[in-house]
Amino acid sequence: APRVHNSGHWTQNGASISQFELHLRAITDLPLPQPVVNSPSVMINLIGSDVNYDWLKLPLVHLHWYDKEVRPGRKVGHL
């Protein structure tokens, strides 16, 4: 099924348009602008760990927390 993918989450902060907006535009037949990379980006999955607000003290870090119960092996967010 067509859907967004974990490998594209970097577009939330690193591109001119996110994969989520592009997906919604595609399924609603809206124009699809060409994404432009704003800056080099890295995404780190947060798996089975509690939120650590010290992450936000790092330069250029954006926390995306999914507000899920933390369990071993469960993806609960990404940086």
Per residue of the chain (79 residues), give pLDDT as tens.
Answer: 778 998 899 999 999 999 999 999 999 999 999 999 998 999 999 999 999 999 989 999 999 999 999 999 999 999 9
Cα gap 41→11, rounded to integer Å: 8
Where along the chain do its domains lie?
1-39, 44-79
Token pair for residue 50? Answer: 């509690």
Predicted local confidence at residue 35, as pLDDT: 96
Predicted local confidence at residue 1, as pLDDT: 73
Q: Residue with structure tokens 């704003």? A: 38
Predicted local confidence at residue 25, as pLDDT: 97
Predicted local confidence at residue 6, as pLDDT: 86
